Structure 1
Amino acid sequence: MAGEQEPHFDLGLRGKVAIVTGSGGGIGRAIALRLAEAGANIVVVDRIAERCDEVRDRLAELEVEAACYSGDVVDAAFTNDLVDKVYSQFGRIDILVNNAGGVSRRRFLDQHAGNWRKLMDLNLGSVFSLTSAVVPYMIRGGAGGAIVNVSSIEASRAAPNYAVYGACKAGVENFTRSAALEFAEHGIRVNAIAPDYTVTPGTRGNISGPVDPESWFQPDEAHFEAVARRIPLGRPGIDSECGDAAAFLCSDMSRYVTGMVMPVDGGTWASSGWLRNSKGEWTLDGRG
């Protein structure tokens, strides 16, 4: 009807403080911006300083408070110092998003212990480190909190050539459920999102330096046809869609949700190997 206002949902995030790791680009950046749009103050953490600066400038446009720290979340000394500084600056920590991670395609037998350790420290160890540093401050605040871990579809299916990464993400999901139980008495909720193929700087070849979409390689038509065959919704994910899911899990709208892993994958996990054939029909071998 004329004159009616658009419905407005208050996510209960205004004034809260969120630490988002790996938030200089891709999914982490999208989560940081979504939380900021809902009124949260954001702590940007990324190993690439130029990316931190870009996101901080974007957050200034959203008129929220922002802090920016460039460093390696694998370094426990860095993460502990980071969390102490954030609490000193803001006097509270309400949200932690463990997004930092990394992956490379390599057969397991072509790797050595150094490769395993690097992946384990980045994808799993950093989750332990940040959570261990943040939760005592959440408990001290007495108002509970929300932790969102960024997992992957590879945590719940076989991942040839990504075996160590998949194992790490499976560990993240188990830790999510276990931590949800341990922290529940303090009103701290712990959940995870599990994306599949999402368009990010990393998936388009922009793995270092400032985020520059003009430098990204552009897949050919065959690539998109293959994606449409294996993803039920027929396209890659968009980083802001992960941002939406994470914002929900951080918000009052999910205040009775904890220990959950939410696929953000266009239905890929549900399809479990079913593929569209050339006629658009679902089959197990893609033929017909």
Structure 2
Amino acid sequence: MKRSFRAVLLEALNRNAENYPNLVVLNADSARALSLTKFTATYPDRMYGMGISEADMLSTAAGMAATGLIPVVVGFSMFVSEKPFEQIRQSIAYPNLNVKIIATHSGLCVGQDGATHQALEDIAIMRMLPNFKVFVSADVTETKSIVDAMMKYDGPAYLRLGRDMAEDIYFEDKVSIPGGADVLLDGKDVTIAACGMMVEPALKAARALEEEGISAAVLNVYSIKPMNDKLLLEYASKTSAIVTAEDHMKAGGLGGAVAELIGQDHPVPIRRVGVNDRFGESGSQEELYLKYGLTAERIMEEARIAISAKRQIVS
């Protein structure tokens, strides 16, 4: 079943507002688009509409955090990570302030809004910042658990969400932690490490590969920074072949992080599924995922290549 990121985000914010009386929410003229107007109705003195002025919004959030408030900045990924990056770096990351950024509408899944709104670089730039924790959510259940984890952490954190609907990956409440990752399927021939909207195609690919006699493990790497190095190295040793999958540039995101780790500590063949050094364009999510190769079929193809490469090394 597919459910809305935006609907569950409101639920998560409301619940945490009850638990954290110093939580405040900031948005840049996007409360209606993000279904946050009901938060305003419940907590009218804890929602700040900052207008279309994202740099000011992030600087304001930093100032609020310096007074002991817990500002949660919510907005489209392009406009709360890339546009105000200087303010995030200088005013939040550098002084290590307790600001939470929840970025919706990330990646190609933004669809018809086109290249100007499709943040394909945000994981890369946010994981480069000292002090920041970086998360990517695969479905609504995970979104709730990651928001809870962010609130428990005293420091800056970034959560990346899709545009709207996501297939259920988890059917019961789960616990998310900084540095966490989940083994969704075990396997011995290849490891598929995915995040966000690409977790569903990764599972689909693994089940199809099983019909070919290929045993594929699927890891949901929801914490990009810190990453679960121990688990990834364990599966690099176990399967000796890795495929990463993400709705992001191949460079710098999950694939880059995994390649850095594995290349240094346990070199095995790695293939990356993602956007290959180009901007997005306007179209439906389904059309764009097919055109840019963000599909189960591409994951399967890359898995076969990785397995073939490891066999050549052994031989």
Higher strand share: 2
Tell me the TM-score normalized by structure 2: 0.39
Q: Report the TM-score when normalising by structure 1.
A: 0.42
